[in-house]
Amino acid sequence: MFKRALATLVALMMHSIACIAAPAGSDEASIIQLLHGIFDKPQEPLSVEPIMVSGKHAIADWAQGEMGGRALLRNDHGTWTIILCAGDGIKTRDALVKAGVPVADAESLEKDLARAEARLPPEKTATFSRFEGVVMMNGDVDQHKAAHGSK
Protein backbone atom coordinates (compact mmCIF):
# COMPACT_ATOMS: atom_id res chain seq x y z
CA MET A 1 0.00 0.00 0.00
CA PHE A 2 2.76 2.42 0.97
CA LYS A 3 4.74 1.59 -2.19
CA ARG A 4 1.68 2.21 -4.39
CA ALA A 5 1.01 5.56 -2.69
CA LEU A 6 4.66 6.53 -3.03
CA ALA A 7 4.67 5.54 -6.72
CA THR A 8 1.53 7.62 -7.31
CA LEU A 9 3.09 10.61 -5.54
CA VAL A 10 6.29 10.30 -7.60
CA ALA A 11 4.26 10.05 -10.82
CA LEU A 12 2.26 13.16 -9.89
CA MET A 13 5.46 15.05 -9.07
CA MET A 14 7.05 14.02 -12.37
CA HIS A 15 3.95 15.16 -14.25
CA SER A 16 3.98 18.50 -12.41
CA ILE A 17 7.65 19.02 -13.18
CA ALA A 18 7.06 18.18 -16.86
CA CYS A 19 4.26 20.75 -17.06
CA ILE A 20 6.34 23.41 -15.36
CA ALA A 21 9.31 22.72 -17.65
CA ALA A 22 7.21 23.00 -20.81
CA PRO A 23 7.52 26.31 -22.63
CA ALA A 24 4.86 28.83 -21.67
CA GLY A 25 1.99 28.66 -24.09
CA SER A 26 3.11 25.31 -25.51
CA ASP A 27 0.15 23.71 -27.27
CA GLU A 28 1.27 20.21 -26.31
CA ALA A 29 1.73 21.14 -22.64
CA SER A 30 -1.68 22.84 -22.56
CA ILE A 31 -3.40 19.84 -24.15
CA ILE A 32 -1.69 17.39 -21.79
CA GLN A 33 -2.63 19.51 -18.78
CA LEU A 34 -6.26 19.73 -19.95
CA LEU A 35 -6.65 16.00 -20.50
CA HIS A 36 -4.88 15.06 -17.27
CA GLY A 37 -6.97 17.58 -15.34
CA ILE A 38 -10.21 16.07 -16.60
CA PHE A 39 -9.53 12.34 -16.84
CA ASP A 40 -6.51 11.42 -14.70
CA LYS A 41 -7.12 9.01 -11.83
CA PRO A 42 -4.51 8.12 -9.19
CA GLN A 43 -5.10 4.40 -9.68
CA GLU A 44 -4.99 4.71 -13.51
CA PRO A 45 -3.02 7.68 -14.78
CA LEU A 46 -3.72 8.91 -18.27
CA SER A 47 -1.03 8.67 -20.94
CA VAL A 48 -1.25 11.33 -23.67
CA GLU A 49 0.94 10.85 -26.74
CA PRO A 50 1.41 11.61 -29.54
CA ILE A 51 -0.19 15.02 -30.08
CA MET A 52 -0.58 16.54 -33.55
CA VAL A 53 -1.42 20.23 -33.98
CA SER A 54 -2.42 22.03 -37.16
CA GLY A 55 -3.86 25.52 -37.07
CA LYS A 56 -6.48 25.75 -34.34
CA HIS A 57 -7.04 21.98 -34.13
CA ALA A 58 -5.23 19.05 -32.58
CA ILE A 59 -5.55 15.31 -32.17
CA ALA A 60 -4.24 13.78 -28.95
CA ASP A 61 -3.94 10.02 -28.59
CA TRP A 62 -4.61 8.79 -25.08
CA ALA A 63 -4.47 5.56 -23.13
CA GLN A 64 -5.69 4.75 -19.65
CA GLY A 65 -5.41 1.23 -18.34
CA GLU A 66 -6.70 -1.08 -21.06
CA MET A 67 -8.73 1.70 -22.73
CA GLY A 68 -7.61 4.28 -25.24
CA GLY A 69 -8.76 6.63 -27.96
CA ARG A 70 -8.19 9.91 -29.73
CA ALA A 71 -9.39 13.37 -28.72
CA LEU A 72 -10.03 16.12 -31.25
CA LEU A 73 -9.43 19.55 -29.74
CA ARG A 74 -9.85 23.17 -30.85
CA ASN A 75 -8.02 26.26 -29.67
CA ASP A 76 -10.30 29.25 -29.18
CA HIS A 77 -8.46 32.42 -28.17
CA GLY A 78 -5.58 30.50 -26.58
CA THR A 79 -7.70 27.94 -24.73
CA TRP A 80 -7.86 24.31 -25.82
CA THR A 81 -11.20 22.50 -25.55
CA ILE A 82 -12.19 18.95 -26.42
CA ILE A 83 -14.57 18.77 -29.38
CA LEU A 84 -14.98 15.00 -29.43
CA CYS A 85 -13.44 11.69 -28.50
CA ALA A 86 -13.29 8.70 -30.82
CA GLY A 87 -11.25 5.69 -31.79
CA ASP A 88 -10.53 5.14 -35.44
CA GLY A 89 -13.52 7.30 -36.37
CA ILE A 90 -11.46 10.50 -36.38
CA LYS A 91 -8.34 9.37 -38.24
CA THR A 92 -9.31 10.48 -41.76
CA ARG A 93 -9.40 13.83 -43.50
CA ASP A 94 -13.09 13.37 -44.30
CA ALA A 95 -14.02 12.65 -40.68
CA LEU A 96 -12.00 15.65 -39.50
CA VAL A 97 -13.64 17.96 -42.05
CA LYS A 98 -17.07 16.65 -41.01
CA ALA A 99 -16.14 17.57 -37.41
CA GLY A 100 -15.41 21.15 -38.48
CA VAL A 101 -11.67 21.07 -39.15
CA PRO A 102 -10.61 23.13 -42.21
CA VAL A 103 -9.52 20.92 -45.14
CA ALA A 104 -5.83 21.95 -45.06
CA ASP A 105 -5.59 21.30 -41.31
CA ALA A 106 -7.50 18.01 -41.66
CA GLU A 107 -5.05 16.81 -44.31
CA SER A 108 -2.10 17.79 -42.15
CA LEU A 109 -3.54 16.12 -39.04
CA GLU A 110 -4.31 12.92 -40.97
CA LYS A 111 -0.74 12.68 -42.32
CA ASP A 112 0.90 13.64 -39.01
CA LEU A 113 -1.25 11.15 -37.10
CA ALA A 114 -0.39 8.30 -39.46
CA ARG A 115 3.32 9.17 -39.30
CA ALA A 116 3.38 9.49 -35.48
CA GLU A 117 1.41 6.31 -34.85
CA ALA A 118 3.61 4.34 -37.29
CA ARG A 119 6.54 4.99 -34.92
CA LEU A 120 4.72 3.50 -31.93
CA PRO A 121 4.54 -0.17 -30.99
CA PRO A 122 1.52 -1.84 -32.67
CA GLU A 123 -0.02 -2.80 -29.32
CA LYS A 124 -0.04 0.87 -28.28
CA THR A 125 -1.78 2.03 -31.47
CA ALA A 126 -4.28 -0.81 -31.06
CA THR A 127 -5.23 0.73 -27.72
CA PHE A 128 -6.29 3.97 -29.45
CA SER A 129 -8.75 1.96 -31.56
CA ARG A 130 -10.61 0.57 -28.53
CA PHE A 131 -12.79 3.64 -28.11
CA GLU A 132 -16.07 2.81 -29.83
CA GLY A 133 -18.09 5.41 -31.66
CA VAL A 134 -17.76 9.17 -31.53
CA VAL A 135 -18.68 11.17 -28.44
CA MET A 136 -19.30 14.85 -29.09
CA MET A 137 -18.30 16.88 -26.08
CA ASN A 138 -20.34 20.07 -26.57
CA GLY A 139 -18.47 21.56 -23.63
CA ASP A 140 -19.71 18.80 -21.27
CA VAL A 141 -16.85 16.49 -20.31
CA ASP A 142 -18.96 14.71 -17.69
CA GLN A 143 -20.79 12.82 -20.44
CA HIS A 144 -17.47 11.29 -21.51
CA LYS A 145 -15.94 10.43 -18.14
CA ALA A 146 -17.54 6.96 -18.22
CA ALA A 147 -14.97 5.92 -20.82
CA HIS A 148 -12.23 6.82 -18.33
CA GLY A 149 -14.13 6.11 -15.11
CA SER A 150 -15.09 8.84 -12.67
CA LYS A 151 -12.33 10.95 -11.20
Looking at residue 137, its pLDDT comes to 87
> How many domains does the chain fold into?
1
| Whole-number pLDDT of residue 8 | 36
Q: 19 — phi, psi (to 5°)?
A: -70, -40
| Number of helices followed by number of strands (H, E) in the chain | 6, 5
- Answer yes or no: is pLDDT of 122 > 80: yes
pLDDT recorded at residue 25: 57
The domain in which residue 18 lies consists of 2-148
Q: Are 93 and 110 in contact (CB under 8 A)?
A: yes
61-105: pLDDT as tens digits: 999 999 999 999 999 999 999 999 999 999 999 999 999 999 999
pTM: 0.76
